[in-house]
Structure 1
Amino acid sequence: MAAMNGGGTRRWGWGGGRAENQRAGAQAAKDAAAAAFYELDTAQRDLKISIETIGAVDDSPAARKALTDFADFGARIDRVSQDYITVVDSHDLDRDDLDAASASRARAELERARQDLQRVKGELDRFARGLGPLLAQAENQLARLAPAVERARQSLLAATTALDGARGAGFTADGLAARLAALSPELTRLNEGAGAHGVQETLQRADRVVREAEAVRGEAEQLPQRAAEIDKRLSSLRTRTQALQTRAEQVEPVLSELRRRFSVACWQDLQQVPQQAASTARQADEKLREAGAARQEQRWADATALLATVRALLNTTDEAVKAAGERLQRLNEVSFDQSQEVERTRFAIRDAQRLAMAGRSTPDPRHAGPLDNAVERVDRAVASLTGRHPDYWHLLTELDAVKETVQQVVEQIRQERAGH
């Protein structure tokens, strides 16, 4: 009995010690696999947050590929995690009758499960590092979100305050009020947040609200100045219209002297100036009345457009009235002594010819041709002064045309030499 017991004790002791060692090794493998499983699960959860951040902000091909790749990782993680759980469930390391072979087998399977978990974890880490630029860009967008929405709210508040101030100063500002009211639905969408409308759309909406609200605020604040400017322009243009009427009355005596002293060609194109001036003055008066009414009704755009029309009318007729007086002055001067005007033109031609010959033995035909033709035109214009009432106006217009041609040649020469 003692020998049997002793033998049994020795076999149990050797076998039991080996089994316990294998159990301990299997338990260590189980703990290591559990740690690998936890690390992989944590990494997946952390990366999911990054992926969701990218997906909420970025719709680029690179971002869409990242989301697809992460979904593929999810399937692989599910497989290795399920394999790990299956191994753990299939081995009870705490049962009393665990033999060495079972413990060894459990240890080997748990080691393989740990290695699979760690391999996928390494691949997931590399994938996460590759997402760095996309994630940084997405986080920058998200960092802009709250300030952008707040700027939009503040801009709307400032626009509302400015509009209230304008109305308090007596301006109706109905158009501005309508534009501000149209932004109310946009504010509602901003308050609903990026979760409902997306980060990019929310950022764009916030920027748009800021721009439009700032425009309303600026126009509301400028209403007093705008009204004052229109009042000033109304007064100034009324004065100009009255002055034009006075000057228009002086055109007829000028024309009378032109008719008496010079040929028909010298004044025929001015015949309609008195009637045109009178018609323009009437039109200007009518437009000024309309602009005044628009100003009283605070139709600022209409008032501004009408005033621009009046200014254009007056500018055109001012030039015509001024031309009549200048025509008589120039004709008086040239009829008394045309030599000065002719000599000034000839001097301009000679000066251009000297420039064309500078540094050359022969002139460039492109320059010489127009200048030679200019000399001939002057000679013909002077020779045309014949009869009792010579056409002095033809002489003046021809000399003006010659001087313009000469100036063009001079500019051409200078540009070419500057280019070289």
Structure 2
Amino acid sequence: MTATHARPHSGARGRAGVARGVRVFAALVLLPLPLVVAVLPAAFAAGGGGTRRWFGGRGESQRAEAQAAKDAAAAAFYELDTAQRDLRISIETITAVDSSPGARRVADEFAALGRRIDEVSHVYITAVDAHDLDRDGLEASVAARARTELTRAKDELVRVKGELDRFAQGLGPLLDKAETQLARLAPAVERARQALLAASNALDAARGSGLRADDLAARLAALAPELTRLNEGAGRHGVAETLQRADRVVRDAEAVRAEAERLPERAAEIDKRLVSLRTRAQALTTRTGGVEPVLSELRRRFTAACWQDLQPVPDQAAENVRQAEEKLKEAAKARDEQRWPDATALLGTVRALLNSTDEAVSAAGDRLRRLDAVAKDPEQEIQRTRFAIRDAQRLAMAGRNTPDPRHARPLDDAVARLDRAVAGLEGRHPDYWHFLTETETVRQGVAGVVAQIRSERGTGA
């Protein structure tokens, strides 16, 4: 919106000065009001306002009314220009932060309002330039026409100012959101800088303790370009993108810091696990040597079905221990080279191998103990299983005259299966392992029926 237009006029005195005064006034309406007030007297003095000659009568009355209309139009022009400038700041705030369709629509609507403001401003400036109210001998008709045009220009300026005010009132939610994000911007960038500094300090401390931490150093170095972009500011990269970048830098830098601070503890933990797993591997080597005598005892006293599945245990256990010891060497090398993820993964593999070996070695001894017990007194296993069946039957009949077939049928099958297992103990060489696995299966099936009944009755008791 511009207002620097010179207007032609006639008159014998002060023509050049008056023209300069008009141009100065038109420029002054673009200044803040206090500055305009301060400058106006000098401007009008330079323009010859102090030397104007007035003539009495109706002409002077018309001149005064025209001048009043001109002053009112100038005030309306100034108010509209000020409101547009203020609103432009709000629009720029919104568009800098928000790229949503709503924000784009607001920017388009403001641009359309700007075009209407330019139109009415042009009408106002044209009216001001068309009439020299300081001219000597100003005709009453010319003054009246000037008053009419200036009043019309003022009314249009006021009307568009109203549209601008109504438009500004609708910006509340978008502007609040944008200002909130802008308020977050500086703290977010500062948090990112502080997080990077803390990560760098933690890394220096880790290196000072003799740890290289090369992977952490590489991750921290990868954040340097992000810091450069943060320093370039939101004006170049946008507020939303800058906030996202700052949050990402904080997250990544804090992860580096946490790992760097934990690095000495992690190294000590790996050293401890290396010692512990070496000791365990040595113990399992000794225990593996005891599996063969156990198998010999099983072969001597029980049928093949009771021990055949355990035959591979000694060889498999020895192979597992051998592999575990190889992995331990690799883990120790990775630790010396400070390849922490590799060392941790290898130690996990060693632990899994030793767990598997431990279970297999223990299974042989456990098998012999269980078979010894049932061979001496199978009745204890039988009564244990019958008790589980009877307990389930009582639960199935609780509060009923007849059991639910869904419960009675599997319990009846459990009774029959137990009877068959007991019958299998007759003869010179009973399969005690089959008997034990059958009774265990029966008890598991009965436990499933009990759980079903309790679930249907809504009780866990």
- Give the match for residue 157 of structure 1: 197
- Give the match for residue 307 of structure 1: 347
- Give the match for residue 37 of structure 1: 77
SS at 2:457 equivalent:
helix
* Residues 189-228 of structure 1 aligned to structure 2 (within 5 Å): 189-228=229-268
SS at 1:418 equivalent:
coil
Q: Deviations over 1:350-375 (max 9, x none)?
A: 11111111122222222111111111
Alignment partners' CA distance in 1, 2:155 and 2:457: 81
User: Unaligned 5+ residue runs, structure 2?
Assistant: 1-54
CA contact (8 A) 1:349 1:371 kept: yes
Alignment partners' CA distance in 2, 1:96 and 1:312: 109
- Give the match for residue 160 of structure 2: 120
Alignment partners' CA distance in 2, 1:416 and 1:204: 52
Alignment partners' CA distance in 2, 1:48 and 1:366: 78
Amino acid at match of 2:298: L
Q: Deviations over 1:338-357 (max 9, x none)?
A: 11111111111111111111
Where does structure 1 differ by over 2 angstroms across 4 or more consecutive aligned residues?
Answer: none
Q: Deviations over 1:96-147 (max 9, x none)?
A: 2212222222112111111111111111111111111101111111111111
Alignment partners' CA distance in 1, 2:457 and 2:209: 63
CA contact (8 A) 1:149 1:190 kept: yes
User: Unaligned 5+ residue runs, structure 1?
Assistant: 1-14
Q: 1:257, CA displacement in angstroms? A: 0.8
Amino acid at match of 1:328: L
- Give the match for residue 7 of structure 1: none
Q: Deviations over 1:192-249 (max 9, x none)?
A: 1111111111111111111111111111111100001001111111111111111111
Asked if 1:321 is matched to 2:321, the reply is no
Indicate which of 215, 224, 234 corresponds to 1:184.
Answer: 224
Q: 1:386, CA displacement in angstroms? A: 2.9
Amino acid at match of 1:93: L
Q: Deviations over 1:276-321 (max 9, x none)?
A: 1111111111111111111111010010000000111111111111
Alignment partners' CA distance in 1, 2:56 and 2:400: 119
- Give the match for residue 131 of structure 2: 91
Indicate which of 288, 304, 311 corresponds to 1:264.
Answer: 304
- Give the match for residue 5 of structure 1: none
User: Which stretch shifts more, 194-203 or 92-101?
Assistant: 92-101
- Give the match for residue 394 of structure 1: 434
Q: 1:419, CA displacement in angstroms? A: 8.0
Alignment partners' CA distance in 2, 1:197 and 1:419: 62
- State the Cα RMSD in Å: 1.3
Indicate which of 282, 287, 291 corresponds to 1:242.
Answer: 282
CA distance 1:379–1:191, change in 2 (3 Å)? same
Q: 1:387, CA displacement in angstroms? A: 2.5
Alignment partners' CA distance in 1, 2:105 and 2:397: 72
Higher helix share: 1
- Give the match for residue 455 of structure 2: 415
SS at 2:132 equivalent:
coil
CA contact (8 A) 1:261 1:389 kept: no
Alignment partners' CA distance in 1, 2:381 and 2:238: 76
Using the aligned pairs only, state the percent identity: 74
Alignment partners' CA distance in 2, 1:360 and 1:48: 83
Amino acid at match of 2:203: L
* Residues 169-180 of structure 1 aligned to structure 2 (within 5 Å): 169-180=209-220
Indicate which of 142, 145, 159 corresponds to 1:102.
Answer: 142
Amino acid at match of 2:61: N
SS at 1:119 equivalent:
helix
Indicate which of 376, 381, 403 corresponds to 1:341.
Answer: 381
- Give the match for residue 332 of structure 1: 372
SS at 1:387 equivalent:
coil
Amino acid at match of 2:329: R
Alignment partners' CA distance in 2, 1:358 and 1:153: 70
Indicate which of 120, 124, 132 corresponds to 2:172.
Answer: 132
Q: 1:78, CA displacement in angstroms? A: 0.3
Indicate which of 404, 409, 418 corresponds to 2:444.
Answer: 404
TM-score of the two chains, using structure 1 as the length reference: 0.95
SS at 2:428 equivalent:
coil
Indicate which of 54, 57, 81 corresponds to 2:97.
Answer: 57
SS at 2:218 equivalent:
helix
User: Which stretch shifts more, 246-255 or 97-106?
Assistant: 97-106
CA contact (8 A) 1:152 1:206 kept: yes
Alignment partners' CA distance in 2, 1:363 and 1:45: 87
CA contact (8 A) 1:36 1:117 kept: yes
Q: 1:16, CA displacement in angstroms? A: 4.1
Q: How many positions carry a matched residue from both structures? A: 406
CA contact (8 A) 1:87 1:110 kept: yes
Q: Deviations over 1:252-282 (max 9, x none)?
A: 1111111111111011101111111111111
